[in-house]
Amino acid sequence: MKKILSFKNSLWFFVTIIFTSVNTQVAKAQFDESGNISMEAGLNVGLMNCLTDVGGKPGVGGKFTKDLIWANTHMAYGAYFVASYRNTIGLRLDATFGKVSAVDNPDNIKYDKPWTDFTQIRQNRNLSFQSKINEITLMAEFHPFGIIPAFINEEGTEPPVSPYLMGGIGFYSFNPQAENKFGDMVDLQPLSTEGQGFSEYPDRKIYNLKQINLPMGIGVKFNISNAIRIRTEFVHRKLLTDYLDDVSTTYINTSAYRSNGFSDTQYFDALEMNNREIVKYSVPGSKRGNPDNKDSYFTFNLKIGVNIAALMGSGYAY
């Protein structure tokens, strides 16, 4: 927890430094005397959800919304800064903080014998997780109206409405947790639930809790006035890990916990978190997750920002 808080505070500090530096420079000039470059800064609030091995609708699962449980949506918030050239190409820095979670068996269905309906498999697996997300991204924006003559006026001002595409690279932290039988939240990564880091499973490395992601999305910017900007957007993050939810591949032989020096507390937590099936039928090597599809998370954002040039009283305000 302390590491996550430290990472979060570092992001806020970084964003504050960026905003302070930008405001100082804008007080002198708007980057260049031509007024070709405009800047915007603001805050955002939104919704965050994820697609992982855990959870989803009954059955094998489908693609994206076909397997999405909207009840697992959580609030997200953050701040952003963007510099744009001729209302067409922009470079944006975002800091986002949120939460993701998923539950295999949200209705707490109980089975007293093996099922006959294949749709019950994930409910019987009975896994769950939650994780805080702390993220900073650097993305490029493309506003196509900036190159369409019909939307360009003689003054060079921005159109009142501007759809855009975005993509880039991000850095984020996560820490999957699950509730044990005593009601305590337990960190899952140190428990090596799928044998990560064990000599018995040399192909399963311990996953890093701080990683790179690849954000991409679409949005619409509304220029409410010379100073106020409102944006609505959807941003999807492609991840390079399948362990956002601590689930990826197969069940392991639990004797490996003792041979790898787990304490009694770790041992019993690991046993519980490794296999939480209601009807126990899986054996070592049985399917626990699907390593072929990496996990992902996404946000729907509402951003409220200001045109810094107008705020600072620059003559080059748009």
- Range of lowest pLDDT (85-99, 133-147, 148-162, 291-305): 148-162
- Name the nearest CA neighbour of 277 among 130, 109, 131: 109
Largest CA distance in the chain: 76
Average of pLDDT values for 119-145? 92
State residue 61's pLDDT score.
Answer: 56
Residue 17's pLDDT band, with cuts at 50, 70 and 90, is very low
- Name the nearest CA neighbour of 166 among 138, 145, 134, 136: 138
- Range of lowest pLDDT (168-172, 258-262, 284-288): 258-262
CATH topology of domain 2-177+206-245+296-312: Porin (2.40.160)
CA gap 285, 205 in Å, rounded: 17
pTM of the predicted model as reported, rounded to 2 decimal places: 0.84
State residue 149's pLDDT score.
Answer: 64
Average of pLDDT values for 246-264? 93
Residue 32's pLDDT band, with cuts at 50, 70 and 90, is very low
The C-alpha torsion from 264 through 270 and 276 to 279, rounded to 10°, is -60
* Per-chain mean pLDDT for the chain: 84
Encoding tokens for residue 73? 């949506």
State residue 261's pLDDT score.
Answer: 87
Checking if the pLDDT of 128 tops 90, the result is yes
Encoding tokens for residue 243? 């362990």
User: CB-hemisphere CA count at 13 Å for 61?
Assistant: 18
Whether 237 and 297 have beta carbons less than 8 Å apart is answered as yes
Average of pLDDT values for 244-250? 97
Domain boundaries, the chain: 2-177+206-245+296-312
